[in-house]
């Protein structure tokens, strides 16, 4: 049974999709944490993580605690946010291309980037709708201008270049951008994707010393990095308040992928799950949705609809501020790939796992054989013992009873395995290449 808070959300969130043309277009601030596990927030129940600013954001907005990224490596995850498409649709399946002996690394990367750039991009569509758009932090595609950012911190090359100074060294580029856009009376979009809490885990000593009771040195540094990310989030939110633009700004928060000792690129919850928050004062009622699922593919249609910009046809995501769309969603699909990209035209060559999530059920189908270029985090490892025989490459979990995926129950639920595997193959059968079917609804 849904709570009264969720019932209120059902009514109020529809207002965002029905705003009057006389109302000013909203600003948008997109905050993307980097390598941050879904459970490592105070509001998600972590007893040691200090995240007061993100906690407050979660209370002020609509928070999907069951958010997911479509793939759990940063470059394809960010590319999915920019395009609203799965990795095997936009072609950026990994962080780096396989470079054969004698091949130019830049040329090899360009073979993957050029088709990606031809797709509709979120910043470009906002720019066409009259927005100033700022890039800071992570970006793997050479030049932020190529996807429609009007303002940036310079060429990025691989990872982010000088833009990675944001958060760790300075917040001034965002402050200057906000002042300029507000002076021009221009709606704005801010992409804030700092290198936090990503390695290197070198937090300020003032934060590290607060975790002296944590025995594991690596965990101590990571928790301090999480708090550092939270601090900068608070700084950014304060900028909006001080400039009196917070009420007309849609703030969205998520992580690009998870983090843990087992490996961030894995299809398990610690690799792919992230809370997704949407705060839009007076437009979206605060609510904590603990049952419905959301993905980073939903950000593009959500943002473009809120901004009254054109939404490209054929996107697999939905508008998270439209309750009817959220309730009609049948299931979501995820795919994880090897760290290195093998083929521009055949992304299935580096496919590692496909995942279907239907309610509390989660099915993971491992590719057999596995890619020859494995993820950088230790190769082909599974948390639970694989089955033998027909379903030897299948894992099934009941996330309600087993949120940390400790027991593979595929053998106990053959009909569930059959139905979810059929849905997965209907969505994308890797033997048929990179085409996918339209999403299904309940």
Residue 289 and residue 428 in one domain: no
Short-list 383, 395, 93, 151, CA closest to 261 = 383
Helix, coil or strand: residue 412 = helix
* Residue 311 and residue 285 in contact, taking contact as beta carbons nearer than 8 Å: no
332 vs 384: CA distance, rounded Å: 22
Residue 135 maps to a domain:
yes
Last residue of a domain, one of 309, 327, 345: 327
pLDDT at residue 103 in the model: 76
Average pLDDT over residues 369-392: 59
Tell me the average pLDDT of the chain: 89
pLDDT-based confidence at 12, cuts 50/70/90? very low
Question: What is the per-residue pLDDT across 215-272, written as a single tens digit (0 to 9) for each?
Answer: 999 999 999 999 999 999 999 999 999 999 999 999 999 999 998 765 678 899 999 9
Q: Find the DSSP H helices in 27-129.
A: 52-60, 74-83, 87-90, 105-117, 122-128
**Which residue matches tokens 């890797």?**
430
Residue 88 and residue 54 in one domain: yes
Question: What is the per-residue pLDDT across 358-368, written as a single tens digit (0 to 9) for each?
Answer: 999 999 999 87
412-416 contact pairs (CB < 8 A, 24+): 416/361, 416/363
Which position has the higher pLDDT, 8 or 125?
125
Residue 373 and residue 249 in one domain: no
* pLDDT(412) > 90: yes
CA-atom Rg of the chain in angstroms: 21
pLDDT at residue 9 in the model: 47
Domain count, the chain: 2
32 vs 195: CA distance, rounded Å: 9
pLDDT at residue 433 in the model: 61
pLDDT-based confidence at 4, cuts 50/70/90? very low
Residue 321 and residue 361 in one domain: no
Residue 77 and residue 207 in one domain: yes
Residue 36 and residue 81 in one domain: yes
pLDDT at residue 181 in the model: 98
393 vs 63: CA distance, rounded Å: 33
* pLDDT(308) > 90: yes
Question: What is the per-residue pLDDT across 15-35, written as a single tens digit (0 to 9) for each?
Answer: 444 455 668 899 999 999 999
DSSP type of residue 143? -
Residue 6 maps to a domain:
no
Residue 270 and residue 394 in one domain: no
Residue 438 maps to a domain:
no
Residue 130 and residue 257 in one domain: yes
Which CATH number characterizes residue 41's domain? Answer: 3.40.720.10
Task: Indicate the helix (H) or strand (E) that contains 306.
Answer: helix 299-306
3-state helix, strand, coil in the chain (%, to 5): 35, 20, 45
pLDDT at residue 370 in the model: 72
**Which residue matches tokens 């792919």?**
272
* pLDDT(14) > 50: no
pLDDT at residue 374 in the model: 57
**Which residue matches tokens 């998520």?**
254
Residue 396 maps to a domain:
yes
Task: Indicate the helix (H) or strand (E) that contains 355.
Answer: strand 351-358
pLDDT-based confidence at 377, cuts 50/70/90? very low
Cβ atoms within 10 Å, residue 388: 8
Residue 351 and residue 300 in one domain: no
Which position has the higher pLDDT, 8 or 67?
67
* pLDDT(391) > 50: yes
Short-list 83, 269, 81, CA closest to 192 = 81
**Which residue matches tokens 């989660």?**
362
pLDDT-based confidence at 375, cuts 50/70/90? low
| Neighbouring-strand partners of residue 41 | none
Residue 16 maps to a domain:
no
Token pair of 400 as six digits = 């309600």
Question: What is the per-residue pLDDT across 71-118, written as a single tens digit (0 to 9) for each?
Answer: 999 999 999 999 999 999 999 999 999 877 677 777 888 889 999 999
* Separation in Å, CA 247 to CA 25, 127, 178: 12, 22, 15
Cβ atoms within 10 Å, residue 263: 18
Residue 153 maps to a domain:
yes
pLDDT at residue 344 in the model: 87
Last residue of a domain, one of 295, 327, 359: 327
Domain span at residue 351?
Answer: 334-432
Residue 275 and residue 363 in one domain: no
Question: What is the per-residue pLDDT across 33-74, written as a single tens digit (0 to 9) for each?
Answer: 999 999 999 999 999 999 999 999 999 999 999 999 999 999
Which CATH number characterizes residue 418's domain? Answer: 3.30.1120.10
- Residues with Cβ < 8 Å from 300, sequence gap 6 or more? 81, 82, 83, 84, 122, 311, 312, 315, 317
Range with the lowest mean pLDDT among 2-6, 207-211, 337-341, 355-359? 2-6
Residue 317 and residue 221 in one domain: yes
Last residue of a domain, one of 303, 327, 351: 327
Helix, coil or strand: residue 107 = helix
Residue 400 and residue 305 in one domain: no
Residue 424 maps to a domain:
yes
Residue 437 maps to a domain:
no
Token pair of 159 as six digits = 């990872």
């Amino acid at each position: 049974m849904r709570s009264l808070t969720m019932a209120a959300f059902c009514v109020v969130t529809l207002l965002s999709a029905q705003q009057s043309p006389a109302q000013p277009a909203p600003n948008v601030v997109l905050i993307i944490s980097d390598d941050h596990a879904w459970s490592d927030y105070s509001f998600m129940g972590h007893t040691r993580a200090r995240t007061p600013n993100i906690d407050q954001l979660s209370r002020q907005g609509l928070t999907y605690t069951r958010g997911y990224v479509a793939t759990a490596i940063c470059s394809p995850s960010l590319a999915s946010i920019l395009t609203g498409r799965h990795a095997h649709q936009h072609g950026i399946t990994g962080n780096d291309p396989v470079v054969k002996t004698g091949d130019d690394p830049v040329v090899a990367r360009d073979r993957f980037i050029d088709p990606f750039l031809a797709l509709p991009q979120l910043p470009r569509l906002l720019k066409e709708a009259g927005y100033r758009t700022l890039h800071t932090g992570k970006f793997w595609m050479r030049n932020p201008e190529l996807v429609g950012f009007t303002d940036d911190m310079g060429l990025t090359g691989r990872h982010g270049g000088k833009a990675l100074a944001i958060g760790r060294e300075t917040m001034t580029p965002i402050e200057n951008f906000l002042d300029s856009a507000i002076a021009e009376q221009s709606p704005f979009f801010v992409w804030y994707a700092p290198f936090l809490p990503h390695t290197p885990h070198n937090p300020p000593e003032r934060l590290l010393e607060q975790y002296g009771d944590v025995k594991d040195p690596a965990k101590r540094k990571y928790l301090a990095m999480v708090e550092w990310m939270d601090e900068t989030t608070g700084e950014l939110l304060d900028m909006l308040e001080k400039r009196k633009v917070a009420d007309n700004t849609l703030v969205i928060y998520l992580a690009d992928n998870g983090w843990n000792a087992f490996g961030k690129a894995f299809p398990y919850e610690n690799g792919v799950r992230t809370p997704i928050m949407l705060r839009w004062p007076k437009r979206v009622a605060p609510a904590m949705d603990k049952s419905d699922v959301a993905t980073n593919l939903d950000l593009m249609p959500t943002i473009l609809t809120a901004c009254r910009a054109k939404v490209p046809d054929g996107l697999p995501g939905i508008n998270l501020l439209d309750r009817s769309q959220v309730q009609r969603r049948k299931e979501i699909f995820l795919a994880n790939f090897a760290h290195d990209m093998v083929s521009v035209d055949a992304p299935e060559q580096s496919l590692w796992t496909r995942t279907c999530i239907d309610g509390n059920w989660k099915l993971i189908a491992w590719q057999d054989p596995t890619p020859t270029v494995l993820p950088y985090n230790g190769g082909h490892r599974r948390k639970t013992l694989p089955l033998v025989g027909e379903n030897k490459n299948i894992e099934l979990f009941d996330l309600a009873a087993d949120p940390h995926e400790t027991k593979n129950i595929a053998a106990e639920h053959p009909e569930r395995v059959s139905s979810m595997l059929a849905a997965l193959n209907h969505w994308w059968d890797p033997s048929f290449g990179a085409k996918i079917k339209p999403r299904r609804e309940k």
